[in-house]
Chains A and B, each alone.
Chain A
Amino acid sequence: MNAFDSLTGALAALLILPGGLALMLIGLIYEWANRKLIARLQNRLGPRWFQPLADVIKLLAKQSIVPAAAHPTLFALLPMIALASVLTSALALPMLGLAPAYAFPGDLIVTVCLLSLLTLCLSLAGFGTDSSFGLVGAMRALMQLFSYEAPFLLALLGPAAAAGSWQIDVIMRYAEANPWMLFTQPLGFFVAVVGLMAKLEMAPFDAPEAHTEIVSGPLTEYGGRHLALFRLSKDTALVIGLTLVAGLYLGGIADPLTFLVKTLALLVLITGVQALFARLRIDQSTTLWWRYVMILLLVQWLVMMVSRG
């Protein structure tokens, strides 16, 4: 294979499959699955299968308005940074069950940090548009980030400690060879799932964009193509988060079939929880994370340390 072929191959892998385009399309399909399932649980018919795609195309084709109070460059740049960081975080993961594109020791930490960059961009968007709803939403998003980030990371470090590596690829191979860590570290699994829901700002943790209180939170002033990019990055983050948690706790992801089965099973679980619970106030969710979930995690780590000797 000459240099040109390997370059086009790498570009195709990055832009089309399994990176970029394929990732966003899967994100849209997973968003539909999520919305449809919620609709069925609420006894509704729910959206048609192409609904998220139509939403995104419509938003891309709309006029884009930059508020007079917002910094025009920052306003346009934040959604791009959000989407870019989320897409980059897929590099170290076995997306679609294929081998990770770029694995290196310690990529677990980098992946989680890149996913947090989405929340950071969202809250900066809220701060930057000089809207009081955006300001309140951004404060709530950051508050929630400080509550769930540490427990979520600790929950993902449980499998890492068991496998003795901070490289996602190595942890997943360990997970395939050993009993599912869902059973050996049940408390860690619980925290990872709830942490994923908080990261994606799903129902019990959707205080940052509470529609009934603060319009759309940080995205109040966003419309058109900028909003489309934020939606795409949220959908992609959904797929990536599902892959991460399913791969670590549900016995690794070896091929496309296990990818589909495990991530969809996790999505069904998350959607059920989402439909079941009402929104937590921001102080309630902070209390939940630091008073209860953190204790659970410490118990989990204590058990792990004692059992290892």
Chain B
Amino acid sequence: MNTLNLPERWRDAVETVKRWSRINSPWALHFNSGSCNGCDIELLATLTPRFDLERLGVKLQASPRQADILICTGPVTRLARERLLRVYEQMPSPKYVIALGACAVSGGVFQGCYNVVGRVDAVLPVDVYVPGCPPRPEAIIDGMVKLLAQLQAGEKEKPG
């Protein structure tokens, strides 16, 4: 990946700046892979002025090309699986996934249904799980902050 042959100290400095910018500007993309809409309403409530995620730098993007974090709600249905994968692959790396709600974490009440593949991490690598049915906005913000803290600690270094 490193095409420039920089000295070690300079490379570290560049990495620090990159990590700082990544932590301070997480743009989110919301995908509903078969949710009952409960989690989606709570996610939208999180973006309202009362909670205001923009103070953490979070912006809801409409295009996967511009997003860093995929927030996935609901169990993955057989129909949604392909779309979910396509949306995930359209995102440029480094990219992260948050599974939002009981169904995304474990399949919830839809577990074992004939039309459901299962929980989100059966399809995608998930970084943060936010349980709840539906999770409150505070829980969603907490999940977001936990993801950013992992980035800060350098636990989520991925190639790209």
- B31-64: which residues lie under 8 A (CB-CB) from chain A? 49, 52, 54-55, 57, 61-63
CB atoms of B17 and A57 under 8 A apart: yes
Chain A residue with the shortest CB-CB distance to B59 = A55
Does A204 touch B at the CB level, under 8 Å?
no
Which B residues are CB-close (under 8 A) to A50? 24
Which residue in A45, A54, A63, A211 is a CB contact (below 8 Å) of B93?
A: A63
CB atoms of A54 and B18 under 8 A apart: no
Interface flags for A258-292 (1: CB within 8 Å of B; 0: not) read: 00000000000000000000000000000000000
Q: In the complex, what distance in Å separates the CA atom of A54 from the CA atom of B68? A: 13
| Chain B proximity of A41: nearest CB distance (Å) | 10
CB atoms of A63 and B65 under 8 A apart: no
Does B125 touch A at the CB level, under 8 Å?
no
Interface flags for B109-152 (1: CB within 8 Å of A; 0: not) read: 00000000000000000000000000000000000000000000
Interface flags for B80-115 (1: CB within 8 Å of A; 0: not) read: 000000000011111000000000000000000000
CB atoms of A215 and B25 under 8 A apart: no
CB atoms of A65 and B65 under 8 A apart: yes
CB atoms of B25 and A55 under 8 A apart: yes
- B5-28: which residues lie under 8 A (CB-CB) from chain A? 17-18, 20-22, 24-25, 27
In this complex, how many residues of chain B approach chain A with their Cβ under 8 Å: the count is 25
Which B residues are CB-close (under 8 A) to A46? 52, 54-55
CB atoms of B65 and A54 under 8 A apart: no
Which A residues are CB-close (under 8 A) to B61? 216
| Chain A proximity of B148: nearest CB distance (Å) | 12
Q: In the complex, what distance in Å separates the CA atom of A46 from the CA atom of B92? A: 26
Which A residues are CB-close (under 8 A) to B54? 35, 39, 44-47, 51
Which A residues are CB-close (under 8 A) to B92? 62-65, 223-224
Does A178 touch B at the CB level, under 8 Å?
no
CB atoms of B160 and A221 under 8 A apart: no
CB atoms of A63 and B21 under 8 A apart: no
| Chain A proximity of B17: nearest CB distance (Å) | 6
Q: Given A54-B25, A63-B160, does the pair A220, B63 have CB atoms closer than 8 Å?
A: yes
Which B residues are CB-close (under 8 A) to A118? none
Which B residues are CB-close (under 8 A) to A64? 92
CB atoms of A39 and B21 under 8 A apart: no
Does A42 touch B at the CB level, under 8 Å?
yes
Q: Given A44-B52, A54-B24, does the pair A223, B63 have CB atoms closer than 8 Å?
A: yes
| Chain B proximity of A261: nearest CB distance (Å) | 27
CB atoms of A47 and B22 under 8 A apart: no
Does A61 touch B at the CB level, under 8 Å?
yes
Q: Given A39-B54, A223-B65, does the pair A57, B49 have CB atoms closer than 8 Å?
A: no
Q: Which of A42, A54, A221, A222 has the most CB of B within 10 A?
A: A54
| Chain A proximity of B113: nearest CB distance (Å) | 31
Does A71 touch B at the CB level, under 8 Å?
no
Does A135 touch B at the CB level, under 8 Å?
no
Which B residues are CB-close (under 8 A) to A65? 65, 90, 92
CB atoms of B94 and A62 under 8 A apart: yes
| Chain A proximity of B25: nearest CB distance (Å) | 4
Q: In the complex, what distance in Å separates the CA atom of A77 from the CA atom of B68? A: 24
Which A residues are CB-close (under 8 A) to B68? 58, 62
Q: In the complex, what distance in Å separates the CA atom of A39 from the CA atom of B160? A: 33
Which A residues are CB-close (under 8 A) to B90? 65
10 inter-chain pairs at a CB distance below 8 angstroms, sorted by A residue, are A39-B54, A44-B49, A44-B52, A46-B55, A47-B54, A57-B25, A61-B22, A65-B90, A223-B66, A224-B65
Query: Could you tell me which B residues sit within 8 Å of A by CB distance?
Result: 17-18, 20-22, 24-25, 27, 49, 52, 54-55, 57, 61-63, 65-66, 68, 90-94, 160
| Pairs A-B, 4 closest by C-beta atoms | A223-B65, A57-B21, A54-B24, A63-B92
Supplied contacts A46-B54, A63-B160, 11 more A-B pairs, CB within 8 Å: A39-B54, A43-B49, A46-B52, A48-B55, A57-B25, A58-B18, A62-B92, A63-B92, A216-B62, A220-B62, A227-B65
